[in-house]
Amino acid sequence: MSSPANDSQRARSAGQRFLRRFLQQRLALGCLGFLVLLTLAAVFAPWVAPYDPLQQDLDRVLESPSRDHWFGTDELGRDVLSRTLFAARVSLLAAAQAVLIAIAIGVPPGLVAGLWGGRVDGLIMRATDALMSFPPLILAVALIAVLGPSLTNAMIAIGILLSPTFLRLMRATTMAVAQETYVEAARSIGCTQGWIIRKHVLPNVVSPLFVQISVFAGVAMLAEAGLSFLGLGAQPPDSSWGAMVGRGFRYLSLAPSLIVFPGLAIAITVLALYVVGDGLRDSLGREIRRES
């Protein structure tokens, strides 16, 4: 068994190697910078936005982009740029909620199934297979019909739909770690399951979990946009990018900018999340192969 000092030194060395490799991936680094700027713009939207997102000007309805209103105005004369910035808060928070719910539901049973195996593993995987057998959109709509249309309920539905993927990832990673020699050595000297999970399993499953979080944050954002487009997500006066696209679709022939800018925001943000996830996977994947 290695000493705490050696474990700490090894962790610092691995972290430095990962950081050095990730900094070499300029595309992923640029996308991460974009996500940071977007988050800051969403947090400070009350100070960044040029107008109150709820302020109506019925004399300037459905205007095209201009110097006064860079993204144009909507059907009530509200500034689209301001609404896009404030909607970023809702969309980013919704994606974070869905991923956190998926982690809370999927990770613990995945760890249990991978570490204990046997009948426990079989029972958990059969329940997962049953959940995954339902069409995702139909299941999400059914859950929202039971819980009621709201952003939180939509995120609960999306989190439940994403949880089997996190469960399967944790199960596979935990099973691989559980077969390692150092885990068997820890068991042979009487270490408890809790100690093994804390010292050996969790440090080895965190890396692929971070990659999955980055990728599925984009999936959650797309799912939220789809549900909000259907009127099952964010409810007025709150608005997400998907809800803005849904409202703007009614005026597509009169003001196409109403769906262009929030649609671009969704596409660019999801693409940035995927690219960051690929960068993390490449960097962490090399580290995992090096340590194994």
> For the residues of 98-110, what is the DSSP string, one character each?
HHHHHHHHHHHHH
- Please say whether the beta carbons of 274 and 99 come within 8 A: no
Give the per-residue pLDDT at 14: 59
- The half-sphere exposure of 272 on its side-chain side, counting CA atoms within 13 A, is 19
Class for domain 73-291, per CATH?
Answer: mainly alpha
- Please say whether the beta carbons of 64 and 72 come within 8 A: yes
Tokens 């909620």 correspond to 97
73 secondary structure, DSSP code: B
> Which residue, 224, 247, 198, 216, is CA-closest to 76?
247
Mean local confidence (pLDDT), 50-66: 87
- Quick one: pLDDT band at residue 270, thresholds 50, 70, 90? very high
Structure tokens at 56: 């109506």
* Alpha carbon 22 to its chain's center: 20
Domain segments of the chain: what residues? Answer: 73-291
Q: Model pTM greater than 0.85?
A: no
Instruction: Decide: helix, strand or coil at residue 147.
Output: helix
- Please say whether the beta carbons of 97 and 152 come within 8 A: yes
64 secondary structure, DSSP code: P
- Please say whether the beta carbons of 154 and 142 come within 8 A: no
Give the per-residue pLDDT at 251: 86
Between the two ends of the chain, the Cα-to-Cα distance in Å is: 16
Say yes or no to pLDDT of 289 above 70: no
Give the per-residue pLDDT at 38: 93
Look at 27 and 7; give whichever has higher pLDDT: 27
What torsion, rounded to 10 degrees, do the Cα atoms 200, 202, 207, 208 define? 110
pLDDT more than 70, % of the chain: 91
- Quick one: pLDDT band at residue 144, thresholds 50, 70, 90? confident
- Please say whether the beta carbons of 90 and 155 come within 8 A: no
Mean local confidence (pLDDT), 234-238: 78
